[in-house]
Every structure is written in C-alpha cells, then in structure tokens.
Amino acid sequence: MRSVTYSMGVSLDGYIAGPDGEFAWTEPDEEVFRFWIDDIREVGVHLLGRRLYETMLYWETADEDPSLDDASREWTALWKPLPKVVFSTTLSEVQGRARLASGGLAEEIERLRAEPGEGDIAIGGATLAAEAAALGLIDEYRTMVHPVLVGGGTPFFPRHERRVDLDLVETRTFGSKAVYLRYRVAR
C-alpha cells in the first residue's frame, strides 16, 4: 500500500510560517535543495491545499525562464509532470497536471491507495495535513528543521488532543545546520 507522507520545512519552535505568514527562512541552500529534488522522485501524487498550490504555481512555468539554474530546471522537470490533487472550496479550476479534489480527503486517499501506481502520496500544507492527521491517515512525518525560532504562526503539527507514537527512520544534518527528521507512525 502507498504511504501517505507529510513533509515541509519547519522552524525549531514548530512553525511552517511565522506570525506574519513569512517563510523565507525555509528557502533551501544548494545542499538542501538537492535533497528535496531527490525526495520528490519518490512521490507518485501530491495533495495540496489552495495556499500551497498557489505558491507552487511558479514551478508550472519556471522552465520558461532562461536564467533558471540547473537545479531549479531539474526540480521543475520533476514537479511539472507530477499528478497533483488540490483541495479548495474557492478555486473552480487548476493548471498543469493538477485536478480539483472531487471528494473529501479520506475518500481521495482511499481512492489513490486503491489505484495502481508507485510512489508516496505526499501531503503539502498545514491545514490539509492537520485534517489527514486527525483522521489517522499520515504514515510518515518528514521535517526539515531550520535553525530559527519564529515565535508563532502556522504550526507544522496539528494541535489536537491525540497522542501519536512515532519511530525514527532517518536523520540528516546539513551544512546550513538544518536537520532532516523522518518518522514513521507506529501502528
């Protein structure tokens, strides 16, 4: 069965964006960007909330920019053809290899798990991931912890009254002092 993963950059105090919505501190250096390029190769479909979808729209046409560096071209070549499912109550259409979700999150994940295909089902966006976590649908949490405290904002982990035991699967420290942590949900 395909795993459902949730991965994003996070501050040491647990936020994907600060109180003002700013997240420039998550911008990867060359080493971290290479890591994310390799990571996206393992994804078979990406589930996104509206805000993350709109942020990632840049990559749908980034390859048209002649000044784009080689790593960004490689990322674009992987991201653009990747199937995406967008969860939104306000969008009426999406671009590229994206489609609007036709059902609820649990139904979409159940359908994707039942379909033939390879690669993880990746979830991006804290709101969507919080819903998946509340439903017990996340199999792995993957965090790139950045050495910054932002003091509040959008939390990476949902704030609910449920304990979730995790098994550490992988760690890696980067030259930028960012630390990657990968945990599998203990079932």
Classify 58 as helix, strand or coil.
Answer: helix
Domain extent at residue 56:
4-185
Give dist(CA 87, CA 142) in Å, integer. 21
CA distances from 109 to 3, 138, 183, 185 (A): 10, 10, 20, 17
Per-residue pLDDT of the chain (187 residues; tens, 9 = 90+): 899 999 999 999 999 999 998 899 999 999 999 999 999 999 999 999 998 999 999 999 999 999 999 999 999 999 999 999 999 999 999 999 999 998 899 999 999 999 888 999 999 988 899 999 999 999 999 999 999 999 999 999 877 778 899 999 999 999 999 999 999 999 9
- Are 76 and 61 in contact, with CB atoms under 8 Å apart? no
The DSSP code for 41 is: T
pTM of the predicted structure, to 2 decimals:
0.92
As for how many domains the chain has, the answer is 1
